[in-house]
Amino acid sequence: MSARYIFITGGVVSSLGKGLASAALGALLQARGYKVRLRKLDPYLNVDPGTMSPYQHGECYVTDDGAETDLDLGHYERFTGVPARQSDNVTTGRIYSDVIAKERRGDYLGGTVQVIPHVTDAIRDFVVSDITDEDFVLCEIGGTVGDIEGLPFLEAIRQLGNELGRERACYIHCTLLPYIGAAGELKTKPTQHSVKELLSVGIQPDILLCRAERDIPQGEKRKIALFCNVRESRVISALDVDTIYAVPLTYHREGLDVEVLSYFNMMKEGQEEEIDLSRWSDITRTVRAPEGEVTIAVVGKYTVLLDAYKSLAEALVHGGIANNVRVKLNWVESEIFETDDPVPYLENVHGILVPGGFGERGSEGKIQACRFARERNIPYFGICFGMQMAVIEAARHLAGIEDASSTEFGPAKNAVVGLLTEWKKGNRVETRGENDDKGGTMRLGAYPCILEPGSKTQEIYGERQIYERHRHRYEVNVGYREKLEAVGLKFTGMSPDGILPEIVEREDHAWFIGVQFHPELKSKPFEPHPLFAGFIEAAVKTSRLV
């Protein structure tokens, strides 16, 4: 049977939770036995979010096949367990880049290249490509209805809806019902105007997800249904919840999955409750009523916008789920430690995590955090840049290499960390130059790592070879391995050719591990990443000693 397409749009304001709504609906359809695929169409002109500052668009999520994508794909993977691919995220920039490349090759046979049909055709081709036996394809459209850059995407999905027919295309619109305190009521007018805007581009929403702070009275739902030309049962409340992992449960309770399947004539009478959501109930129960609490300090450089660390924060929650504890996160700006003593910020935490990052700003503060964790025997987890700073810290303060540094910060006499210019990916050799384009030129995607037998990481994984996702330009210089291992920093994970250090750890410490990859990208609530589970387990032991 051909796939059915569900298009999710948003109106009034951004950050209404389209990504979470898509992920939750995908999880609900999956729980009913259907195979799903989730996609994100982003209207910005960047080819991908890889060159964006995390302050602009939150974290850049990386897939196994090396795509730099929108952070919503992280939600999709965490909720459904379906690995995202390069073909699941596209931007205006990539669409235009492909269209212009075709024009330069003469593929359009001398025709005038226009937004309609050429750009919209490229978008449509993307939406329906790389689909095999999926029952449902959920496509989220980034931005809000009315954004000028989003018009080609809305036109493309309007055309697709006509082509596929109502039996294979459904439009879900997320909108806002603000509560006006002075009036003491929820206001439906923003939703009405948002739907009107969508209608102006030829799309009639079939289901409305209405975001609100409090319960929506039935009378207001009736009013929305009347003015927006939507069946009353398809005006779905989308209320705030205390944990995102309760979203599938609340949407099911509101009837979203039933209404979607009813729309496609796939819901028979009496099947409404034929769904197993026990794993979501178990997860939310653990999150809401844990047996204990640990405090983790995250010493980063983008802590002003926590979306910059979205997958990291969720992976720490998953580590808490694995140990039945609540994980309290103290976000610490690393630059503080370049002028202030770290003791007041870190002395009462049960674990310290230094995440990835780019550039010199805040690096000395991260090195101070590494040193504090090492000297105080506090569990330490360094990810990507956090591993590199741990290596530089050991080189400076233990191995006597006082000028140890990274070429990322400028010329270095002792480049313990240096620019990666050549590496293997499968049977292919990748090369990069210092002056090459920045976009898409890092070591990206899943690579193998061989673990040292008997090491802590090998014990944690229970395997000799692992595959983890990378996103970086600089590598630890293996030439310093002997000096660093002599002072206790062991290289316990290496690339198969033995050239690229992937994991370092200390045997003389409660839990001290640095990894060059990003394990947070593969963690899920029902399948916590073993490194995060192990890190939080160590933090629990530390909390009992305090």
pLDDT tens by residue, 487-517: 999 999 999 999 999 999 999 999 999 999 9
Query: Residue 156, exposed/middle/buried by CB under 10 A (0-12, 13-18, 19+)?
Result: buried
Whole-number pLDDT of residue 357: 85
What topology is assigned to 4-283 in CATH? Rossmann fold (3.40.50)
Tell me the pLDDT tens digit for each residue of 390-423: 999 999 999 998 888 888 888 888 888 988 665 4
pLDDT of residue 267: 82
Mapped onto helix, strand or coil, the DSSP state of residue 459 is: helix
Ramachandran quadrant class, 270 (left: phi over 0; alpha: psi -120 to 50; beta: rest): left
What does the buried/exposed string (b/e) look like for 468-505 if buried means 16 or more CB atoms within 10 Å of the residue's CB?
A: bbbbbbbbbbeebbebbeeebbbbbbbbeeeebbbbbb
Give the pairing of strands 292-300 and 325-333.
parallel
Amino acid, res. 283: I
Which tokens is 273 given? Answer: 């409750």
Distance CA 49, CA 70 (A): 7
- Separation of alpha carbons 20 and 225, rounded Å: 23
Residue with tokens 């000395």: 364
Q: What pLDDT sits at residue 82?
A: 96
**Highest-pLDDT range among 17-21, 479-483, 529-533:** 529-533
Place of tokens 């090491």: 455
User: What is the reported pLDDT for 432?
Assistant: 61
Residue 470's contacts (CB-CB under 8 Å, 6 or more residues apart) are 62, 442, 443, 444, 445, 446, 447, 516, 517, 518
Q: Which tens digit of pLDDT belongs to each residue from 3-20?
A: 999 999 998 888 788 999
Instruction: Say yes or no to pLDDT of 533 above 90.
Output: yes
Q: Is 544 left (phi over 0), alpha (psi -120 to 50) or beta?
A: alpha
Secondary structure of residue 279 in the 3-state scheme: helix
At 171, the pLDDT band (50, 70, 90 cuts) reads very high
Instruction: Give the position of tokens 């979470």.
Output: 20
Distance CA 69, CA 88 (A): 9
Our answer to whether residue 139 is catalytic in this structure is no
Using an 8 Å Cβ cutoff, are 274 and 268 in contact? no
Cis peptide bond prior to 117, omega within 30° of 0: yes
Burial of 543 (0-12, 13-18, 19+ CB in 10 A): middle
For residue 39, pLDDT beyond 70: yes
Segments making up each domain of the chain, as ranges: 4-283, 290-545
**CA 29 to chain centroid:** 21
* CATH code assigned to 290-545: 3.40.50.880
State how far the Cα of 26 lies from the Cα of 40, in Å rounded to an integer: 13
Instruction: Measure the CA angle with vertex 525, ends 253 and 284; round to 5°.
Output: 40
Quickly state the pLDDT bin for 535 (edges 50, 70, 90): very high
User: Which among 2, 136, 33, 152 is positioned nearest to 76, based on CA atoms?
Assistant: 136
518 tagged catalytic: yes
pLDDT digits (tens, 9 = 90+) for 243-266: 999 999 999 999 999 999 999 999
Q: Pick the catalytic residue from 174, 518, 529, 537.
A: 518
Tokens at 77, concatenated: 């993977």
Same CATH fold, 290-545 and 4-283?
A: yes
Residue 269 is a catalytic residue: no
Active-site residue among 118, 384, 529, 537?
Answer: 384
CA distance 155 to 153: 5
When the pLDDT of each residue in the chain is averaged and rounded to a whole number, the result is: 91
